[in-house]
Amino acid sequence: MKDLYLKQDATGLAAMVAKGDVTPDQLLDVALDLAGTLNPRLNAIVHLREDVARAAIRRGLPKGPFQGVPFLMKDLGAAAVEYPTNNGSKLTQGLVWGHDSEIFKRMRATGLVTFARTTSPEFGVGPVTESQVYGGPTRNPWNLDHTSGGSSGGSGASVAAGIVPAAHGSDGGGSVRIPASSCGLVGFKPTRARLPSGPVSGEGWGGMAIDGFLTRSLRDTAALLDAVRGADVGAPYWAPPMDGSFVQAMARPAGKLRVRFSTQTLTGSKVHSECAKAVDNTAKLLEGLGHQVEEFHLPDDLDADAMMFAWTRIVACGTALTVRGILGGKPLDPTLIEGVTRGAIRHAEQVSGADYLEAVNQIHAFGRRMAHIFDTCDVLITPTLAAPPAPVGLLKPDNEDFVDYRTGKGGVFDYSPFTAIFNASGQPAVSLPLHWSDAGLPVGVHLAMAFGDDERLMSLSAQIENAAPWAATQYSLISGGGIAG
């Protein structure tokens, strides 16, 4: 049974359940066994709720596209009454939600069998998952000395190791795409407001945050996005309507596209040679597929540095608001939060209401500048990260200078200079597992398109997956026990 489980993606497992070849209980048995074996070394799974999962199976699972497939939900947001959360923090350790979020209701309606949550940095801030509430870092199954990314780092590690074929994530500055790159997975960030964020909030981080998924196959991502997409009741705004579905888009030709690629950051800095190689190889692949491929020329007025400064202000204020809401007027015990969170709170205290609104305006102005880049091209290709997965501890969240942690030399934006750009612009972007370094570490390639162009991005991604499939490389890790070495 385990061999069958490990060879299938979520779509394949659901087909086996539908045909009666396996039962949901049998699949859950395998997932729990794998979690028990692998999680002590990965530190990726928390709040195990086997009782809730078994009870859902006994009641009868919804007849959705993923009926009976084991699933993990990120330990951040995605409110669900039956699944406690830490939100990555000792301050909210064991928090029990009083309501179900719309995204959880839609995931549940697919027939997924959620049995636990996955680790996250405190309140989702950071490209690594090393929260004190979990007693240690979450590690990358490709190399335990390296990070699995963040903020959906536990989901990335769990899927890459084979514990589940797909898991929930969220992305406010790259938090789906960063672990996708780090763990050799697919991570797709849809256009802003493509997915619901209710019922208790209309948006996250000034509209920059959105939910998503970590998967091994593109078809799983497409089907999951189709299952949860669409505005919920009372949404303050919504994404442009789609012509069809993500799954349908996979079967449609992408057409001849104007491809622009960059092996530099959008501030003109160099990236690691393995990341540059990943982009160069992808550009050659697309040229061979008939696309018009040219190097990207950075416009003088893009000013990504200004966007990053504004992004830092907005996230600091969002973090401070979260902590204030949790405390409800009570004094803060500073030992219950990470150094980065303490720094975010202090930074937010220096940001006035006018400063915050100015930061939002700067983000929107940057989005308009990014939009004009796609006047002369259809897709922009870069590395997902500026380097292969960082060693554990390199970006540990103990720096109490929040601005330095984000924008200082060797900080977050040096490591991840691409992903937050498309949270700011709201444009769709995806990280695809197209390269592994000489040291055996995954290196994602990042593709972005114009606002609302999700379907064409999915079509191009499917063309790439068909031309340069990655499943065999992923399976080499899973079939070897789920942890390299």
Per residue in 64-82, pLDDT tens?
A: 999 999 999 999 999 999 9
pLDDT computed for residue 221 by the predictor: 99
Strands 258-261 and 292-295: parallel
Confidence class of residue 212 from pLDDT cuts 50, 70 and 90? very high
Looking at every residue in the chain, the average pLDDT score rounds to: 98
Calculate the alpha carbon distances from 299 to 164, 267, 268, 372 in Å.
42, 10, 10, 10
Residue type, 138: T
Confidence class of residue 151 from pLDDT cuts 50, 70 and 90? very high
Are 115 and 81 in contact by the 8 Å Cβ rule? The answer is no
Which residues participate in catalysis according to the annotation? 74, 151, 175
What is the DSSP-derived secondary structure letter of residue 252? Answer: S
Q: Which residues contact 357 (CB under 8 A, 6 or more apart)?
A: none
Strands 442-448 and 139-140: unpaired
Are 252 and 459 in contact by the 8 Å Cβ rule? The answer is yes
Token pair, residue 24, equals 């949901």
Are 417 and 267 in contact by the 8 Å Cβ rule? The answer is yes
Q: Give the side-chain half-sphere CA count within 13 A for 348.
A: 17
pLDDT computed for residue 269 by the predictor: 96
pLDDT computed for residue 407 by the predictor: 95
pLDDT computed for residue 394 by the predictor: 97
Find the mean pLDDT for residues 90-102.
98
Write the pLDDT tens digit of every residue in 349-390. Answer: 999 999 999 999 999 999 999 999 999 999 999 999 999 999
Find the mean pLDDT for residues 293-316.
96
Are 328 and 387 in contact by the 8 Å Cβ rule? The answer is no
Domain ranges of the chain: 2-231+250-479
Write the pLDDT tens digit of every residue in 240-294. Answer: 999 999 999 999 999 999 999 999 999 999 999 999 999 999 999 999 999 999 9
Decide if pLDDT at 314 tops 90: yes
Write the pLDDT tens digit of every residue in 42-53. Answer: 999 999 999 999
pLDDT computed for residue 404 by the predictor: 97
Query: H or E element: which one contains 260?
Result: strand 258-261
Q: According to the CATH classification, is domain 2-231+250-479 in 3.90.1300.10?
A: yes
Q: If DSSP codes are grouped into helix, strand and coil, which group holds residue 72?
A: strand
Strands (E), 148-254: 166-171, 186-189, 210-215
Are 239 and 357 in contact by the 8 Å Cβ rule? The answer is no
This prediction's pTM = 0.98
pLDDT computed for residue 485 by the predictor: 81
pLDDT computed for residue 456 by the predictor: 98
Label residue 373 exposed, middle or buried (CB < 10 Å: 0-12, 13-18, 19+). buried
Decide if pLDDT at 319 tops 90: yes
Q: What is the 3-state secondary structure (H, E, C) of 436-456?
A: ECCCCCEEEEEEECCCCCHHH
Partners of 264 in the beta sheet?
A: 270
d(CA 419, CA 204): 16
Q: Give the side-chain half-sphere CA count within 13 A for 222.
A: 22
Confidence class of residue 181 from pLDDT cuts 50, 70 and 90? very high
How many helices (H) and strands (E) the chain has is answered by: 18, 13
pLDDT computed for residue 380 by the predictor: 98
For residue 190, give the nearest of 479, 10, 423 by alpha carbon.
Answer: 423
Residue 261's Cα: distance from chain center in Å?
A: 22
Report the share of the chain in percent with pLDDT over 70. 100
Find the mean pLDDT for residues 156-165.
99
Q: Token pair 């949860």 is at which residue?
A: 228
d(CA 349, CA 355): 11
pLDDT computed for residue 192 by the predictor: 98
Q: Hey, what's the torsion of the CAs at 384, 385, 386, 389, to 10 degrees?
A: -140
